[in-house]
Amino acid sequence: MSRTPATARRPRIGLVAGGLGAYWPQFPELLPQLKRSAARVTERMQEFDAEVVDIGFISDAQEAAVAAEKLRAADCDLIVGFLTTYMTATMLVPIAQRSGAPVLLINLQPTEAMDHATFDTGAWLAYCGACPLPEMANAFERVGVPFRSVSGHLEDERAWQRIGRWIRAAGVRSVLRHGRHGLMGHLYPGMYDVSTDLTMVPGNTGGHVEVLEFDDLRVRVEKVGDEEVAAKLAETREIFDLADSVIEEDLEWAARVAVGLDRLVADFDLDSLAYYHRGLDGETHERLGAGMILGASLLTARGVPTCGEYELRTSLAMLVADRLGAGGSFTELQALNFRDGVVEMGHDGPGHLAISERKPLLRGLGVYHGKRGWGVSVEFDVKHGPVTLVGVGQTRDGRYRLIAAEGEVVGGPLLEIGNTTSRVDFGCDPGEWTDAWSASGVAHHWALATGRLLPELRAVADLTGLDLVEVRV
């Protein structure tokens, strides 16, 4: 059964709360209070776009061992351990070791501070989640388990923002581990930087690469009915402004291909798609490749990143950005503007419609630069304000790494040639920035995403084991 992008690959978060059972007979009111705190954490966790597997409260190492087996069987993307009060390392180390998932420890005391004048030992212990945190860090280090934590109080929004960051990163980890990534057509001739060893995708991130042929699209496009084309045209006219250069026949073909693309993605259960086909003399495959831009842009806006030039690693970068809620549009360098101090970047072909500054435009083109074909192309500017560039580079030994830089999209003159184009200010000389960005090994495509994502990407790198290169000048 095919998934919908809105609910695709939701992260599964395991949740366990605990405290030292020796306290319960000594302080009868303590455990009920801690369980109320645990219930509040469960409530807040369920507000995130994730599947929460709550296995309850543990009080000793034996209960921890049972919890570890339950969480291992649940195949979680992140385990959250709630330190409600002091607990020994023997209660969390087995969970961390056996679950097969990264572990986040949270220390959220009931309120901002204790009422020192009225508190006794039992009341203080409800605020003592910080006490075992160094113990856990030490034990995790010694058994070889990566450590991460968030400390705050139950209603501390700063703490919950940090927790949310880890959950979003777990969502990225989930879609990379379980994702299905389509690769259709063939390499753009000569692009060594784009060429991808398919084994390196599951080797670095997990997931599966589905090798597709343009005939897989052709047979689906051939079966598209006129009513479906009419519906897609109506959707297109609602989403886009149409330039006078758009030829109706080309638009109808793009809509027909878009319906076929929808079927292709559903039939192969794809989370992303990268494609390219050169074609010759206007034959069917060339027409399919030229007609992809509309449907690919609509798919990208729905959460299925689709990009041209056979750029599998960039479709993964776009997927990372999209799952962080930041869009992610297919991008390359276009020109440097030394007068205004900006780098102009974008791409012809598909763009992420959800992050457009204005209503996107469809422009009719007689020729695509450097590619065979003709038809309609997407033109817009990414939303003005903070942005992050996200790329997936590959080292000589085949290891993937995230590459990122933060800047700001600013207004100004743009080309009107059917491209997505943005003017990005990195707060430095455009030439110096371009040299530093190129030296990172990013290759010539990446995702342009909205917002400042470096904190989110650091969490993604931590959970996935990918290195993160932060480019600054």
Write down the pLDDT at residue 8.
57
| Cβ atoms of residues 378 and 367 within 8 Å | no
Q: Report pLDDT digits (tens) over 51-87.
A: 999 999 999 999 999 999 999 999 999 999 999 999 9
| Cβ atoms of residues 325 and 168 within 8 Å | yes
Write down the pLDDT at residue 351.
84
Question: Is pLDDT of 376 > 90?
Answer: no
Type of residue numbered 440: S
Which range has highest mean pLDDT (168-172, 276-280, 395-399)? 168-172
Q: Which residues of 219-228 are buried (b: 16+ CB within 10 A; e: fewer)?
A: ebbeebeeeb
Q: The sheet that has 241-242: what strands, in order across it? A: 241-242, 361-365, 375-379
CA gap 304, 197 in Å, rounded: 22
Write down the pLDDT at residue 6.
41
Percent of the chain with pLDDT over 70: 96
| Cβ atoms of residues 45 and 80 within 8 Å | yes
Q: Count of residues for the chain?
A: 473
Dihedral sign computed on CA atoms, order 230, 234, 236, 241:
positive
pLDDT band at 2 (very low <50, low <70, confident <90, very high): very low
- pTM (2 d.p.): 0.93
| Cβ atoms of residues 71 and 54 within 8 Å | no
Write down the pLDDT at residue 416.
81
Q: Report pLDDT digits (tens) over 240-260.
A: 999 998 999 999 999 999 999
Mean pLDDT to the nearest integer, 327-337:
94
Q: 3-class SS at 412?
A: coil
Mean pLDDT to the nearest integer, 78-101:
95
pLDDT band at 5 (very low <50, low <70, confident <90, very high): very low
Type of residue numbered 432: E
Question: Is pLDDT of 455 > 80?
Answer: yes
Question: Is pLDDT of 374 > 70?
Answer: no
Q: Report pLDDT digits (tens) over 270-310.
A: 999 999 998 888 889 989 998 999 999 999 999 999 999 99
Question: Is pLDDT of 186 > 70?
Answer: yes
